Structure 1
Amino acid sequence: MAAGNRSETAQGLALISPPLVYALLILAAPLATIVAYSFLKDGYLTVIREFTLENYIAVWNDPIFHRIMLRSLLVAGLVTLVTVALAFPVAYFLSFVVPPERKALWLFLITIPFWTSYLIRVFLWKVILGYNGVVNSGLKSLGLIEQPLTFILYNVNSMVITLAHAYAPFAILPIFIALEKIDRSLLEAGRDLGENRIMTFWRVTLPLAMPGVIAASLIVFIPTIGDYVTPELIGGGKIPMIANLIQAQMLALDNRPLGSALAVTSMLIVAVLSLIFLFLNRRFLRGQK
């Protein structure tokens, strides 16, 4: 029996070893390199291989980092809120309204934006929201405005719109999967007990769909903080986020140790906030039971 277990273990290890090695090379190696660089000293156009904590001290004492990190968290939180709020009705419609034989078609349509590059989609939003873009041209042709609107581009609002559109499919799919797993008989039981549709949704559908909402929130929140293209193009470079600060240290200033310390610190902050978010939602779900 023991020999059989060892054989199954060996087969399992042989099965997962290729993707494990691939993950280590693709993910762990670059991350380990960044962590290692963050503890080194910066020289003129070179890196001095001496251990130091000065980079982290400089990061935590830098008011610019505090301000930009807070802005990044606020923008990412706002994007997450808007994206999930817009994605939930779409996922609900797909799960409860669309006939089963047409759901695959609708899911296919949702993935169409992925057919084009993320950079192209960002440029398209710049064209749409620009000074002479589609929105301003349309409003002027209708006679609603005389001068182009200047507040719809190069600000936080335009960044939120662009990022929410870019990550909407990532939010729709996990919520849709969670809704599909809900036993419809539970909804019928709620209505049989005298609950209206709104209360049935609030007490039954929403709590059961929360795992998908949580997954969608994390899927949107984490990459949004590290977005570099949208603040640079849609924000006009006037509203930098943490990724832009890291890029400036890594490339423009050629300070790889400090840039690495910024990256590691940002990852730790996001990881801690994500764990707190998961903990609070777990307590919320337990309180619903």
Structure 2
Amino acid sequence: MSGESATSANSGSPKPPGTGRLGRLLQRSEAARGLSLLSPTLLIMFIGVAVPFGILIVMSFWTQIGFGFDTSPTVANYENFGERPIYGALLKRSLWMSSAATAATVLLCYPMAYFVAFHIHRNKMIWIVLITLPFWTSYLLRVFAWKVVLGYEGVINSALMTLGLIKAPLEFLLYSQSAVVITLAHAWAAFAILPMYVSLEKIDKSLLEAATDLGDGPVRRFLRITLPLSMPGVISASLLIFIPTTGDYITPALLGGPDGAMIGNLIQKQFGAINNWPMGATLSIILMLSIAAIALVFMFVTNFVRKRIS
């Protein structure tokens, strides 16, 4: 009787957590445990990224009729993009200006990241804070600041006229493609310095010492060791700058003028002033596909070059 009562008591006791089928699966599979930990983040990304992206894709096949939509699937918007040269011209200009801003930012910020990583041995965090300090202000305020600097009566023109180097203000400084590129390069500099600094900081200094002992000079040591090992940071910085700047519309609207307008300005007008959401969705999809294609080619080329020089 006592054995039967003990058996019945044990059978009626609650099972410890994780003994069910799902619990055993989570215990056995590390991937399942990782997925369970990432599930909240994946859910937020799905709601905040995948769902809007899907809506854009579906809407790009609609047609705007007055203040409503004709939801019958059609490729008329994509045909309209191919038939109107202005769309392709703005897309090419945006990609070109973003590429120029990305190249200028990476080339100017790499020496700064290199200096902090290899030549600052104390209080590196203070240097990082000082470098990023100008970027604590609003992006819009920084754009307006560059408008003051590059304006007809701005800092540059006033200084050149005071020195007698020019007699009239330089008109090409403001409301031009160069003004947009300069402003974008400055506005996104922090996003280039930090990943390149992290990549340079992780380089094992003993490798550089070994190269020196084997007879490599500073230039050869940089090309054979420092540059290849820091390429992940360079690639990350380039993508962090190129992807958002291609669709920027605030900087071209304030500093670009007619010659500096980008595809982001056209997309903003399609969703806003013109109220043609399907066409705006189409332009957004084409822009994202173009960025993705260029990013893939860039990553392939940089990886190939890194392998050749390493």
CA-CA distance at 1:11 after TM superposition: 4.9
User: Structure 2: any 5+ residue segments left out of the alignment?
Assistant: 1-18
Structure 2 SS opposite 1:252:
coil
- 1:246 maps to 267
- 1:40 maps to 62
User: Structure 1: any 5+ residue segments left out of the alignment?
Assistant: none
The one-letter code matched in structure 1 to 2:136 is W
Counterparts of 1:60-209 in structure 2, within 5 Å, are 60-99=82-121, 101-209=122-230
Q: Residue by residue, what CA displacement relative to the aligned partner does 1:178-229 show, whole Å, maximum 9, x if unpaired?
A: 1111111111111111111111111111111111111111111111101101
- Pick which of 150-159 and 21-30 moved more: 21-30
The one-letter code matched in structure 2 to 1:202 is L
Structure 2 SS opposite 1:123:
helix
- Pick which of 246-255 and 193-202 moved more: 246-255
TM-score where L is the length of structure 1: 0.94
CA-CA distance at 1:61 after TM superposition: 2.8
Structure 1 moving runs of 4+ over 3 Å = 1-5, 7-14
Aligned counterparts of 2:149 and 2:132: Cα–Cα separation in 1: 21
Conserved 8 A contact 2:177-2:259: no
Considering only CA atoms, is the larger Rg found in Structure 1 or Structure 2? 2
Aligned counterparts of 1:286 and 1:143: Cα–Cα separation in 2: 51
Q: Summarize the Cα distance change of 1:166–1:286 in structure 2 as closer, same or farther, 3 Å threshold.
A: same
Structure 1 SS opposite 2:64:
strand
Structure 2 SS opposite 1:42:
strand
Aligned counterparts of 1:157 and 1:148: Cα–Cα separation in 2: 16
Aligned counterparts of 2:181 and 2:200: Cα–Cα separation in 1: 26
Aligned counterparts of 2:148 and 2:171: Cα–Cα separation in 1: 13
2:39 is the alignment partner of 1:30: no
Q: Residue by residue, what CA displacement relative to the aligned partner does 1:96-115 show, whole Å, maximum 9, x if unpaired?
A: 1112x321001111221332
Percent of matched pairs sharing the same residue: 47
Q: How many residues align?
A: 288
Aligned counterparts of 1:91 and 1:43: Cα–Cα separation in 2: 53
Question: Does 1 or 2 have the higher relative contact order (CA < 8 Å, sep 6+)?
Answer: 1
The one-letter code matched in structure 2 to 1:190 is A
Q: Summarize the Cα distance change of 1:153–1:201 in structure 2 as closer, same or farther, 3 Å threshold.
A: same
- State the Cα RMSD in Å: 1.8
- 1:18 maps to 40
Among candidates 233, 236, 239, match of residue 212 of structure 1: 233
The one-letter code matched in structure 2 to 1:239 is G
TM-score where L is the length of structure 2: 0.88
